[in-house]
Amino acid sequence: MWVATQIALVITADRRPDAAFGFRMFSESSTVKIALYREVTLDDEAKREGKPSRVHVDDGVWTARDASGTSHRHAWTERVRRQALATFDTEINAKYAVNGQLARLQAALDDVAAHVPDDVETKRFLLDVTVRKNGREPYVVHLASREAGGS
């Protein structure tokens, strides 16, 4: 039974984002550059039109108001501790291979969005991930969180 389980894990490795239990003769040599944004409504005119704006978040740190109007400082690293998921605007090696990195970034986005109760300004968090897979031409993957918990 144990051997059958191991064989099943190896055969189905390509179905998992990180290809866990799969054999790769050569590891992937890819890079990512992650840009973090908040989707917010900036002023009353924009609210009337219902058009949210994207605001770039420098170094994963932002300030936002709570329901009573008090400003609070928030940091991505309060929830996401892994450096591979918290290094912004700098090209880094895709630590978990691209598909695994993107899956972990999506989970981090959703986690941060669910845990910012003192931020009623942010509607959702967005990531633009510039991927360069194995030295090929770069492409951008857009990730969006669920609606933020403070909304």
Q: Which regions of the chain are under pLDDT 70?
A: 7-28, 42-50, 149-151
pLDDT number for residue 64: 92
pLDDT number for residue 2: 78
Contact between 72 and 119 (Cβ < 8 Å): yes
At residue 44, what are phi and psi to the nearest 5 degrees?
-60, -35
pLDDT exceeding 90 applies to what percent of the chain?
Answer: 55
Per-residue pLDDT tens for 61-105? 999 999 898 999 999 999 999 998 999 999 998 877 888 899 999
Contact between 94 and 113 (Cβ < 8 Å): no
pLDDT number for residue 48: 54
DSSP class of 35? E
Domain regions of the chain by residue span: 27-144
Burial 17-32 (b: 16+ CB within 10 A, else e): eebeeeeeeeebebbb
How many alpha carbons fall within 13 Å on the CB side of residue 91? 10
